[in-house]
Each structure stands twice: as C-alpha cells, then as structure tokens.
Amino acid sequence: MSLPSAHLFIQTLILGILVGGVYALMASGLTLIFGVMKVINVAHGAFLILGAYLTYLLFQWFKLDPIISIAITMPLFFLFGWLLQKYVFSRIESPEQTSVLVTFALALILEGLLGAIFQTTARSVTPSYSTATIILATYRIPVTRLAGFVTALVVLLILYYVLERTRLGRAVRATIQDPRAAQLVGVKISMVSAFTFALGVSTAAAGGSLLSMIYTFNPASQGDWVAKTLAIIVLGGMGSLPGALIASLILGVMEQLTAIIVTLYWSPIVFYVFLFLTLIVRPQGLMGEVIREKG
Amino acid sequence: MLKFFRSTPGLVAILFVVGLISPWVMPNQYYQHIIVMTLMAAVMASSWNIIGGYAGYTSLGHAAFFGLGGYLVAWTNTHYGWHPFISVWFLSLIVVAVALVMGWIALRTQGSAFVVVTIAIVFIFRLLALNLGSITNGANGMTQPRPGWGGAQWSPELFKIPFLYFFLVLLCLTIFASWWIRNSKFGLGLIAIREDEGKAESVGIDTMMYKVLAFGISAYFVAVAGGIYSYLFTYIEPGFVFDVFVSVTMVLMAILGGRGTLWGPVLGAFIMQPLSIWVVGAFGGSSIHLTVFGGILLLVMLFMPQGILPAVSESLNRRKQVQSPAQEAK
C-alpha cells in the first residue's frame, strides 16, 4: 500500500470519472424500474451481459462498431422489456416481496442459456481503437473509456429528455412521486409500468454494449454487475436518477483509487463497504426516500 | 399409536428410521450420494425457514454462512487435524457470531432492500475468500485429507454412510429446533413480525432482538451443513460456496414446499434436490441446468407462490367444509 503521487492521483481521478459515467448509464435503468414499480430487477446484470454478447455477435459477424450497435440493441431490448413486463411481471402479486426471486430466476435462465451458447470463455469486443490512448496534458486517456463515457452521457441525456419532456415521461415521474395521485389524475399504471420496464431494460442494452468494449465478460460475470449496480442505486437513493449519477461517479472514483492504493483485486470491496455504510448512516441514500419501507 | 406418528416427534422418528435403513437397502453409491445431498438440502432449507419463513425476511445471504462453515472446518482440519464431525458443532458458533453482527446491520432494512444487503454479504465473503490467499489459498481453494476416523480412511464402498447418518441426525435436530421455535413465544413473535412488524412492535415485541436472534439461529444449521459439505468433498473454493445461487436453492426449496410451515422446506428439498442432481447429470458440464432451475423458480413464483403444503391443506379444509357446512371456516 502506498500513496500515489499527485500526477497519478489526477490520472486515477480521470479514469474514475470516465468509468463512473458508464456505471451511471448501467444503474439508471435499475433505479428507474425500482422507482416506478418497486421491483428490484436482479436480472439487470444478466441483461447487461446479454447486451454485451449481442454487441459481440454484431461485431463478429458484421464488424459493427460497439457504439453504433447500440442503435440496434436498444430498440430490441425495449421490445424485450415491454413483453417481459406484459407477460411475466404484471402477473406477480405483491412485487415488493417476490420481485427479487422472480428476477433472479430470469437471471439464472439467461445465464444458463448464454453459458450453453458461449461457454465460460472471457470475451471482449475489440474495435480498431481498443488499445489506443489519447494523451492530454501528460494524462493518458484510453479511447474506449472516453468513447464509453461520452456515449453514456448522450444516452442519459436522451433518457432525461424523454422523462422531462414527453407525456409518458411525465407520467413516469408522477408515478415515482406518488402512484395513487398519478392514478387519480388519469395515469394508466399498467402502461407506465410497461414503458418504464422497457426503458430500463433498453438502457441495459446500451450499458452492455459499452461494457463489451471496456471489460472482458462471460455469462457468470452478470453477478458482479448486479452487485455493483445495486450498490450504486442504494447509495444514490433507490428510485432517484440524479442520485444514481452522483453515486456512480463517487464509486467509480473510489474503485479506481482503491485499485491504485491497495490492489485491483480489492477494488470491488468499495461497493460493498459503501452499501453497508449507506444503510447504517443514511438508509435513504444520497437522494431519495427512506428505504425502510415494509416489503 | 397412530396419533403419535402424525405428531412432529412421530414424523421425525419415521424419518430417522427410514434414513437409518436406507443405505443398507440401497447400497448403490449414486443413490446414497443423492440421499446425502437431499438431507443436507433439507437441513439448509429448514434452517433458512426460521428467518425467511417464520419472520418473513427473504435472506439471500445464507450462502455466506454455508461457505464460512466450510472454510472453518477445512482450515481447522488441515492445520490442527480437528475432526469435522466434532469440531463443526462449535465452529458453527463462530459463524453464528458473524451472522449476528451481519444481521444487526442488515435487519435495519426491510423488504427488497434487505434482500439486496444480504446479496452483498455473500459478495463480501467471496471477495475475502479470494483475496486472503494466505489463509484461504485464494481461487485455488483448500483441500482436506480424505475422510476417516482415527487415522484410518473410510473405505470407498462405505464412505457415504457416515455422512448420511451425520446429515440425518442434523436434519432431525434442525426440525426439532424449528418445531420448538414455532411453538414458543419467540416463534409467535417472529410470525407477528412477518404479519405486521409495526403492530408487533406496538404490543411490546423487541422486533430487532427477535429478528437478529432468528437470523443467527438460522445461520447455525446452514454453517454445520457447509462444514460437513466441505469435508465430504475434501475441497472448498470461493466461487462454489459463496454464490447467491446457493442461497436461492434454499429459498426455492422452502417456498416450493411451503414457506413458514415446519415440513414445507423438507418436502421442497426432497423434491428439488434429487431433481437438480438429475438435471446436472443429464446435461453434463453445460450450464443449462441453471436455466432449468431458473425456469422452475419462475413457475413456482408465478403459479404457486404459497407452496405445496399450504395449498394442500387449503384444499383439504375446503373439502371438509363441503362435507360439514355447519362447521365454521377458520
């Protein structure tokens, strides 16, 4: 263990923020779905990995750039999410108690299928710029990380626009704030739920595409991503999008710093430590309501 | 006499006798393996049921206690030669102590948030097991000497029988503990917490104390099972035991049989464990067994969330009502 120099510290800070942006995109769908439906979608990690494999296939077959493939994977996942909500999740009684188990079942089904098709080999998508770095005022910035960060921001901005400016988006926000009042003023909850779930799952497609070029992945790695994204939304305040963004940046930076100061192997512990600290000190997270709700 | 066999001690006695004879009726090693694993699963599901069923807190963290029990046994066996069949009973008390601390933190949350925290517990222990290489040997896992007693190894043909008997005794103990809790004031308090925690608190139940205690007790038998599991396979590895999947198997078995009932988790284990061993065997090294398991979990959650035993007793009650309409429904 050694303290990094100022240069290394700033370098790490930059990498942490870049990673944090991607985490924010990955966690956005999870927190959105919880906000509207009170469903903790444990299958979110499996959706991310599914998105990563889809991007991998598109790259292998058509040499399609992982960022461009988002334009294909996102609509597909939107449809997938809509159907899942319509035919599976809408049937669940008392989602707060059973949603974790139902979504865990979904995650297992996907992990098993992906494992049968792709085996456990670690894969990644390697576009021509995958090893390139930009040097900016003596700081090295990997192109994939920068591209991932920018793409994540663009997708998050689109998400923000949809939620702020469209009728359906306003209905979603109203439902997060007060489902009963939203219903009274004519919001159709079933419609909003389907839309939110589809939107949340489609962000996993984009997140998965970015994941595929920044990290290596195999079917079993879905578990690690669930743990990370869950820690983010608990720290940010479950159901809060701005909270998820701030938490992602904090955890991204802390993770990179741990990797430098301690070792890479210990860096995931940051997520769990923050998760526990949040629950002890401030159960409602950075932003958001108290999560001591009775499930 | 008939009445005795329908009471809990009677049913446990039947289970015990059947278990005692089973290896001599079925000398086939593969069947004995299935019985050993099924008894172990029944222990775990019944133990989980104390916090998950009676108190209604869906813990997905119990894999951590399973693994911790396994590692403690593996470590003390290789370093000090402590025989697991004896040491596991008190080593598991260490696991209970850990569980009490974890529970004290995790049980501040409820509902889905609690599930998330317990998932994190498993990940923390996996990370510890992977990174504290000097103790746990990291991702390579720990091996133990071949099982035996007093310097002599058990012969390959009779090798499973001590384990079968161990888990049989453990299962009987677990069922008695669960039965005792269910009929005690403590158990009533847990059920009150499940039904309405706010009200339970308002009638003077120290809910936090009750929950943490139930969490600790339910960790005990799971830890004992984990310890003997690592001895049986003489090998333990982080990814194998510290896996949320291990917790979910306990949950599925308990829910399938009837969460919160005494015999439901045992029934669920007796159905699910032979089935999953068969599925794993049928599909070889492929991961498709995860899909099958997930599919069963999904179907149970969607179509039979209350479980087999409650569904059966409900339909029996309904029939009774039809026969004697004067009798008032419960």
Asked, for residue B279, whether it belongs to a domain, the answer is: yes
Give the model's pLDDT for residue B281.
85
Probe site for chain B from A84, A87, A91, A104 (most B CB atoms < 10 A): A104
- Terminal alpha carbon distance of chain A: 42
pLDDT > 70: percent of chain B: 96
* Contact between B239 and B126 (Cβ < 8 Å): yes
Cβ distance B110 to A280 less than 8 Å, yes or no, reads: no
The residue assigned the tokens 């069922």 is B175
Whether residue A143 has pLDDT greater than 80: yes
Task: Average the pLDDT over A201-227 and give the result.
Answer: 92
Q: Copy the structure tokens of residue A144.
A: 């994939």
From the centroid of its chain, how far is CA B186?
20
Chain A residues touching B291 at Cβ < 8 A: 108-109, 111-113, 116
Residues A226, A227, A232, A237, CA torsion sign:
positive
Cα distances (angstroms) measured from residue B204 to each of B49, B110, B198: 24, 19, 10
Question: Phi then psi for B49, rounded to 5 degrees?
Answer: -60, -25
* Contact between B52 and B214 (Cβ < 8 Å): no
Whether residue A289 has pLDDT greater than 90: no
Can you state the percent helix, strand and coil of chain A, rounding each to 5? 75, 5, 25
- Pick A5 or A27 by higher pLDDT: A27
Q: How far apart are CA B39 and CA B172, in angstroms?
A: 10
Least confident interval from B131-135, B187-191, B317-321 = B317-321
Whether residue B95 has pLDDT greater than 50: yes
- Please name the residues between 300 and 319 in chain B that touch chain A, using a CB distance below 8 Å: 301-302, 305
* Contact between A12 and A257 (Cβ < 8 Å): yes
Whether residue B157 has pLDDT greater than 60: yes
Query: CA of B124, closest CA in chain A: separation in Å?
Result: 7
Chain B residues touching A231 at Cβ < 8 A: 120
Cβ distance A108 to B244 less than 8 Å, yes or no, reads: no
Asked, for residue A290, whether it belongs to a domain, the answer is: no
Nearest Cβ partner for B294 among A39, A105, A230: A105
Measuring CA to CA, which residue among B311, B319, B279 is closest to residue B296? B279
Q: How far apart are CA B329 and CA B199, in angstroms?
A: 25
Asked, for residue B330, whether it belongs to a domain, the answer is: no
Tally the residues of chain B.
330
Nearest Cβ partner for A101 among B106, B120, B251: B251
- Pick A189 or B328 by higher pLDDT: A189
From the centroid of its chain, how far is CA B91?
17
Cβ distance B127 to A40 less than 8 Å, yes or no, reads: no
Asked, for residue A261, whether it belongs to a domain, the answer is: yes
Give the model's pLDDT for residue A293.
43
Range(s) of the domain holding residue A128: 6-281
Q: How far apart are CA A205 and CA A73, in angstroms?
A: 6
B-chain residue closest to A285, CA distance? B113
Q: How confident is the model at residue A74 (pLDDT cuts 50, 70, 90)?
A: very high
Nearest Cβ partner for B120 among A93, A112, A231: A231
Asked, for residue B329, whether it belongs to a domain, the answer is: no
Q: How confident is the model at residue A2 (pLDDT cuts 50, 70, 90)?
A: low
Task: Average the pLDDT over B157-175 and give the result.
Answer: 92
Asked, for residue A247, whether it belongs to a domain, the answer is: yes
* Contact between B233 and B73 (Cβ < 8 Å): no
Asked, for residue A294, whether it belongs to a domain, the answer is: no
User: What is the number of other CB atoms lying within 10 angstroms of the CB of residue A292?
Assistant: 15
Count up the domains in chain A and report the number.
1
- Please name the residues between 28 and 57 in chain B that touch chain A, using a CB distance below 8 Å: none
Asked, for residue B73, whether it belongs to a domain, the answer is: yes
Query: CA of A275, closest CA in chain B: separation in Å?
Result: 8
Range(s) of the domain holding residue B317: 2-146+154-323
Asked, for residue B112, whether it belongs to a domain, the answer is: yes
- B235-236 and B148-149 as β-strands: parallel, antiparallel, unpaired? unpaired
Q: How far apart are CA B222 and CA B241, in angstroms?
A: 12
Where in chain B does DSSP place strands (E)?
142-143, 148-149, 152-153, 235-236
C-alpha triplet A15, A18, A23: angle, nearest 5°: 120
- Pick B35 or B330 by higher pLDDT: B35
* Contact between B167 and B225 (Cβ < 8 Å): yes
Count up the domains in chain B and report the number.
1
Chain A residues touching B248 at Cβ < 8 A: 101, 104, 108
Asked, for residue B78, whether it belongs to a domain, the answer is: yes
Residue B108 contacts A, CB cutoff 8 Å: yes
Type of residue found at B288: I
Task: Average the pLDDT over B201-219 and give the result.
Answer: 94
Task: Count A/B contacts: CB-CB distance under 8 Å.
Answer: 151
Whether residue B182 has pLDDT greater than 50: yes
Asked, for residue B58, whether it belongs to a domain, the answer is: yes
Cα distances (angstroms) measured from residue B327 to each of A112, A245, B310, B317: 50, 60, 20, 11
Residue B112 contacts A, CB cutoff 8 Å: yes
Give the model's pLDDT for residue B23.
86
Task: Average the pLDDT over A89-96 and give the result.
Answer: 76
Residue B293 contacts A, CB cutoff 8 Å: yes
* Contact between A256 and A23 (Cβ < 8 Å): no
A140 DSSP β-pair partners: A135
**Which helix (H) or strand (E) segment is A189 a member of?**
helix A189-214
Give the model's pLDDT for residue A288.
64
pLDDT > 70: percent of chain A: 95
Give the model's pLDDT for residue A238.
83
Whether residue B328 has pLDDT greater than 60: no
Residue B288 contacts A, CB cutoff 8 Å: yes
Q: What does the mean pLDDT of chain A come to?
A: 88
* Contact between B190 and B54 (Cβ < 8 Å): yes
Q: What is the CATH number of the domain that holds A233?
A: 1.10.3470
- A96-114 burial by CB neighbour count: b if 16+ within 10 A, else e? bbbbbbbbbbbbbbbbbbb
Instruction: Reduce the secondary structure of B306-318 to three states and give it as a string.
Output: CCHHHHHHHHHHH
Asked, for residue A291, whether it belongs to a domain, the answer is: no
Measuring CA to CA, which residue among A217, A69, A80 is closest to residue A151? A69
Going by C-beta distance under 8 Å and a sequence separation of 6 or more, which residues neighbour residue A98?
A92, B301, B305
Asked, for residue A288, whether it belongs to a domain, the answer is: no
Cβ distance A269 to B244 less than 8 Å, yes or no, reads: no
Asked, for residue B311, whether it belongs to a domain, the answer is: yes
Cβ distance B108 to A280 less than 8 Å, yes or no, reads: yes
Q: What does the mean pLDDT of chain B come to?
A: 90
Residue B282 contacts A, CB cutoff 8 Å: no
Chain B residues touching A294 at Cβ < 8 A: 110-111, 197-198
ipTM: 0.87
Q: Which of A91-100, A159-168, B39-48, B284-293 has the highest mean pLDDT?
A: B39-48
**Which helix (H) or strand (E) segment is B53 a member of?**
none
pLDDT > 90: percent of chain A: 48
Whether residue A249 has pLDDT greater than 60: yes
Q: How far apart are CA A19 and CA A234, in angstroms?
A: 18
DSSP A139: E
Q: How confident is the model at residue A82 (pLDDT cuts 50, 70, 90)?
A: very high
- Max alpha carbon distance in chain A (Å)? 59
User: What is the number of other CB atoms lying within 10 angstroms of the CB of residue B329?
Assistant: 8
- Please name the residues between 228 and 247 in chain B that touch chain A, using a CB distance below 8 Å: 243-245
CA atoms in the 13 A half-sphere facing the CB of B240: 14
Q: How confident is the model at residue B313 (pLDDT cuts 50, 70, 90)?
A: confident
Phi/psi region, residue A137 (left: phi>0; alpha: psi -120 to 50; beta: rest), is: left
Give the model's pLDDT for residue B5.
74
Type of residue found at A220: A
User: What is the number of other CB atoms lying within 10 angstroms of the CB of residue A228?
Assistant: 23
CA atoms in the 13 A half-sphere facing the CB of A30: 37
Q: How far apart are CA A44 and CA A228, in angstroms?
A: 11
Cβ distance A109 to B298 less than 8 Å, yes or no, reads: yes
- A135-148 burial by CB neighbour count: b if 16+ within 10 A, else e? eeeebebbbbbbbb
Q: How far apart are CA B268 and CA A93, in angstroms?
A: 22
Q: Copy the structure tokens of residue B148.
A: 């035996």
Cβ distance B287 to A100 less than 8 Å, yes or no, reads: no
Give the model's pLDDT for residue A120.
84
Asked, for residue A145, whether it belongs to a domain, the answer is: yes
DSSP symbols for B66-102:
HHHHHHHHHHHHHHH---HHHHHHHHHHHHHHHHHHH
Q: What is the CATH number of the domain that holds B167?
A: 1.10.3470
